[in-house]
Amino acid sequence: MPDQIPHAPSPPLAGRRVLITGGTTGIGLAVAHLLVRQHARVFVVGRRPSTLEAALHNLRAAGGEVQGLPIDTVRLDDLHRLFQEIDRWGGLDVLVNNASVRGTPFWDEDARGAEHLMQVNAGGYVTCAHLAARRMREHGGHIVNVGSLAAEVRDGPYATYVAAKSAVRGFSMALGRTVRAEGIRVSLIEPGFVDTPMIDVPVEEKQQRKKRLEMLEPRDVAEAVLFCLTRPPGVDIPLLQIQPLR
């Protein structure tokens, strides 16, 4: 009898339903590309319709099963509309909380700008986690919050940004302990300096910093997300920090 060639095992994320906020550029888009290569079903959201359409086109061209909506994560009506669409999509296994806005030096920001930053970079994470966890409660799931090493380094000029990322750290740690009994894992990924559209420096300077190993690529953070999502069921990763070598 001829030897039978065994079928290759399916990737661990095959068919998993993944929602990525801030999924149309930078880190979020890199996460989406990596997860569709793992045959996950991916739903991306971002604020700008044109950027969303470009991201969906690129992801589908790469063979991904992808959906998307233009959503502002600080607008509760938008989020209810999003999660109604998620329910029609079939439910949710993974939330990657990633929507964020850049920080402004304290003396250069006004109170309205500071409030908006806190709403996006912290409040949006909390609200999305609330809506996601209630959909995961019956079958388990995984919430990945993309934070920042700013919560630990605490660079002086960007006090409001540090406050938001520190809030994400505290929320993630407490949420993980709260939902663990329901089969929901929570991982916080805190990257250092990453080349994203939020880093407002010339392209040439970014390239030099990456050559000197002083800056991460978005795909480096995406690999960290994939690592957290593919651990064995009995393994929990509450916090994963990554930073440039220098």
- Cα 226 to Cα 20: distance, rounded to the nearest angstrom: 13
Give the residue among 177, 158, 157 at the shortest CA–CA distance from 239.
Answer: 177
Spatial contact of 121 and 168, defined as CB atoms under 8 Å apart: yes
As given in the structure block, the two tokens for residue 135 are 């959909």
Produce one character per residue of 13-48: b if its CB has 16 or more CB atoms within 10 Å, e if not. Answer: beebbbbbbbbbbbbbbbbbbbbbebbbbbbbbbbe
Q: Which of 67, 161, 184, 225 is catalytic?
A: 161
Catalytic site includes residue 161: yes
List C-alpha distances in Å: 66 to 34, 57, 59, 91: 12, 9, 7, 14
Backbone angles phi, psi at 218, to 5 degrees: -55, -35
- Cα 136 to Cα 46: distance, rounded to the nearest angstrom: 22
- Cα 1 to Cα 75: distance, rounded to the nearest angstrom: 63
E strands, 74-211, where? 94-97, 141-146, 184-191
Spatial contact of 168 and 154, defined as CB atoms under 8 Å apart: no
Active-site residue numbers?
161
